[in-house]
Structure 1
């Protein structure tokens, strides 16, 4: 965490209080899914407009954890297919 705070300071964020850490384990049913979550959250943030990015990400993680095992597994499969499809274009 300290390294991220230091990088944020270098990037111009003045206070460590301005760095939000959202720490939830989303990969129980999405093994090796860190790239999938990055891909999906980048899409969310690009569509969020003026909404607070931390709130957008926090809401996504909280909502994701309410999904059933089947829905989380479907997210895994569908997002991997979508990324693969885009890589073929």
Structure 2
């Protein structure tokens, strides 16, 4: 697969934000993507070329932790970083 580190953050099966794998089991995305943890509606998809078509290279994960940068400011979007595990 050409881009196995690229992630799709999905809610109810719909792409809401992009992200990328920064460490095994950790994906970085934007903090403005308010990703709830332990929600069955939220998942991370890795290894997809086309989200519309399931591929054998796709991996799906739930979100156990959702951590925004402690100094994230939604008004100015300063520190717009979030980690997902």
- Quick check: TM above 0.5? no
Higher strand share: 2
Whose helix proportion is higher, 1 or 2?
1
TM norm structure 2: 0.23
TM-score, normalization by structure 1: 0.22
